[in-house]
Amino acid sequence: MMEINITDEDIKSLKDKVVVLTGGSSGIGLATTKLLLSVGASVVSGDMNPPPVEHERLSFVKTNVTKWFDLVALFDLAQERHGRIDHAFANAGVSGRMDYMEDRLDDNGRLIEPNHEVLDVNLKAVINTTYLALHHLRNQEHAGGSIVLTASASSYQRFRVADYTAAKHGVLGFMRGIVPNLTRLGLPIRINSLAPGWTETGMVPKGVVEAAGASTQSPDVVAKSAALLMASNSYQGTLIYSDQGKYWEIEETMLKHVADITGSGEGEDVVMDKIMKLAAEHGSGTGSLPGSSN
């Protein structure tokens, strides 16, 4: 696991950049908004609630990330105001909603379908935000930029809030699925993720965590890791874990560990390309995977 040090110098290139983000009115998103504004970036923020700060380089549009056309309007606003988008930060999220150990029954005694709101906000909306970001970054004049996803330390651990954990594993999985496609197509777009440990926000009240004997970190810590992933061209497919104000890059270590066990890894994408091409030629189901007709 590689520890990372983040300095002001590392993020100063974000001056004059345009960042679209979700969940910018509280916690990690708000801290990131303030940091970006402080280094001279412009922020276009979409949230259910208005931001508690005003700034000439901050635009806000009320956005429910679970509504596709709200997200479309958020990205359109950025293009209208600034003529381009440099980075997107898919960050909005909610805490767990579902206890799968509890039987919830309707009036006829039948089990009620689980509440999937967490999957809608924390995973499906992240995928939709990324899809829009890819579209804008790829098709604008001077194509390029980066996307940062807020995953979690629960993206790679057993964490008893099962709906939240499933969504955050999904965020990491989605990034892992997108990276080889960006590479395959040679697109000048990077995608990276954050894995904050306990962070004092609207979702995680400091008092509750501390009463349980754990510690929280400031959302300013996480904001710096989001800014670093936007600013530094050296990160692609990275997951930065932050805890107690320290940072570690953990994705490469995790993938290497798995590759050591399974013998997979480098060259896997070449094999995948061949499989998809052959599947397409044979008309099998795998042929419907993206890129199989190339």
Ligand X SMILES: NC(=O)c1ccc[n+]([C@@H]2O[C@H](COP(=O)([O-])OP(=O)(O)OC[C@H]3O[C@@H](n4cnc5c(N)ncnc54)[C@H](O)[C@@H]3O)[C@@H](O)[C@H]2O)c1
Positions touching ligand X (CB under 6 A) are 22-23, 25-29, 47-49, 63-66, 91-94, 121-122, 150, 152, 196, 198-199, 201-204, 219
Choose among 118, 105, 195: nearest CA to 150: 195
> Could you confirm whether 247 is annotated as catalytic?
no
Do residues 193 and 250 lie in contact, with contact meaning Cβ atoms separated by under 8 Å?
no
Q: Which is nearer to ligand X, 73 or 272 (CB)?
A: 73
CA distance 169 to 126: 12
Cα atoms in the Cβ-side hemisphere of radius 13 Å centred on 96? 14
**CA 268 to chain CA centroid, nearest Å:** 24
State the minimum distance, in angstroms, from the CB of residue 279 to ligand X: 35
* Contacting residues for 176 by C-beta, under 8 A, at least 6 apart: 237
Active-site residue, from 156, 168, 241, 247: 168
CA distance 150 to 83: 25
Q: Which is nearer to ligand X, 33 or 292 (CB)?
A: 33
Active-site residue, from 17, 34, 156, 164: 164
State the minimum distance, in angstroms, from the CB of residue 242 to ligand X: 9
> Could you confirm whether 131 is annotated as catalytic?
no
Q: Which is nearer to ligand X, 248 or 273 (CB)?
A: 248
State the minimum distance, in angstroms, from the CB of residue 64 to ligand X: 5
State the minimum distance, in angstroms, from the CB of residue 205 to ligand X: 10
Q: Which is nearer to ligand X, 169 or 276 (CB)?
A: 169
Q: Measuring CA to CA, how many Å separate 280 from each of 180, 268, 271, 276, 285?
A: 19, 18, 14, 6, 8
Residues known to be catalytic? 164, 168
